[in-house]
Amino acid sequence: MKTIKNLLFGLLIFSAFSITAQHNSFEVEVTGKGEPILLFPGFTCTGEVWDATVLELSKGYECHVFTFAGFGNVPAIEKPWLPKIKESVIKYILENKLENAILLGHSLGGALALWMATESETYKELIIVDALPSTGALMMPDYKSEYMLYDSPSNKQLLAMNDTDFEAMIVQMASGMTKEKSNQQKIQNWMIQADRETYVYGYTDLLKLDLREDLAKINSPVTILAATEPYGLEMAKSTYDLQYKALAEYTIEFANGSSHFIMYDQSQWFIENLKNALKN
CATH of residue 234: 3.40.50.1820
Q: What is the pLDDT of residue 6?
A: 40
pLDDT of residue 22: 66
> Could you list the pLDDT tens digit for every one of the 280 residues in the chain?
433 334 333 333 333 345 666 678 999 999 999 999 999 999 999 999 999 999 999 999 999 999 999 999 999 999 999 999 999 999 999 999 999 999 999 999 999 999 999 999 999 999 999 999 999 999 998 999 999 999 999 999 999 999 999 999 999 999 999 999 999 999 999 999 999 999 999 999 999 999 999 999 999 999 999 999 999 999 999 999 999 999 999 999 999 999 999 999 999 999 999 999 999 8
| Number of C-beta neighbours around residue 59 at 10 A | 11
How many domains are there within the chain?
Answer: 1
Question: Residue 28 to residues 21, 125, 169, 216, 232: CA-CA distances in angstroms?
Answer: 5, 20, 29, 30, 35
Does the reported pTM lie above 0.85? yes
Q: C-alpha distances in angstroms, 253 versus 129, 174, 224, 225?
A: 10, 24, 6, 5
H/E stretch holding 9 reads helix 2-17
Rounded Cα distance between 130 and 254, Å, is 9
Planar angle of CA 89, 116, 30, nearest 5 degrees: 35
Helix (H) or strand (E) holding 106: strand 102-106
CA distance 46 to 70: 10
Q: Is the distance from CB of 221 to CB of 125 less than 8 angstroms? A: yes
* Residue 255, phi then psi, degrees to nearest 5: -85, 90
Q: Which domain holds residue 219?
A: 2-279
What is the Cα–Cα distance from 18 to 64, expressed in whole angstroms?
A: 10
> In 3-state terms, what secondary structure has residue 94?
helix
Whether the bond between 230 and the residue before it is cis, its omega within 30 degrees of 0, is: yes
